[in-house]
């Protein structure tokens, strides 16, 4: 199984500041056949279901603000919020869909300082 490890567990950021979340997979999630990273980022606000923010490690979903960006390849990935807003308070999860079983990171709780 591919183990997804996120850091930090929790992050307190001032409004307008940058937030960076790290995600490391125990095996590569880069496919050699199509050179794509099978890595997604989800945002989960209190009382809601997860919302897809980023797919293929760096492709922002339609309607997602451009302050959210994803990067990395292979086994090391990041989600960056360039200027945190109040509505970004949530838990963020990385998730691989490279092979079975699909797995998630433990989540990073982003709050406002």
Partner 1 sequence: EVQLVESGGGLVQPGGSLRLSCVESGFNFRNHYMTWFRQAPGKGLEWVANINQDGSDKAYVESVKGRFTISRDNAKNSLYLQMSNLRGEDTAVYYCAGGQGWLTRYWGQGVLVTVSS
Per-residue string for binding with partner 1, 89-108, x by CB under 8 A? ----x-x-x--xxxxxxxx-
CB 28 → partner 1: shortest distance, Å? 16
CB 25 → partner 1: shortest distance, Å? 15
Of 19, 30, 40, 81, which lies in the binding site for partner 1, with binding defined by CB under 8 A?
Answer: 40
User: Which ranges constitute the DSSP H helices of 9-62?
Assistant: none
Per-residue string for binding with partner 1, 52-81, x by CB under 8 A? x--x-----x--------------------
Question: What spatial distance separates the first Cα and last Cα of the chain, rounded to whole Å?
Answer: 36
Contact 76, 88 (CB under 8 A): no
Contact 23, 39 (CB under 8 A): yes
| Run of H or E residues at 110 | strand 108-112
Q: Is 51 in the site for partner 1 (CB under 8 A)?
A: yes
Residue 22 region by backbone torsions, left for phi larger than 0, else alpha for psi between -120 and 50, else beta:
beta
Interaction site with partner 1 (CB under 8 A)? 38, 40, 49-52, 55, 61, 93, 95, 97, 100-107
């Amino acid at each position: 199984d591919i183990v997804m490890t996120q850091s930090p567990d929790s992050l307190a950021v001032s409004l307008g500041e940058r937030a960076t979340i790290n995600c490391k997979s125990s095996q590569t999630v880069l496919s050699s056949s199509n050179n794509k990273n099978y890595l997604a980022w989800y945002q989960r606000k209190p009382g809601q279901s997860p919302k897809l923010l980023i797919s293929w490690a760096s492709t922002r979903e339609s309607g997602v603000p451009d302050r959210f960006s994803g990067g990395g390849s292979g086994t090391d990935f990041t989600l960056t919020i360039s200027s945190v807003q109040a509505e970004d308070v949530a838990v963020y999860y990385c998730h691989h869909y490279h092979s079975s079983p699909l797995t998630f990171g433990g989540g990073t709780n982003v709050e406002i300082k």
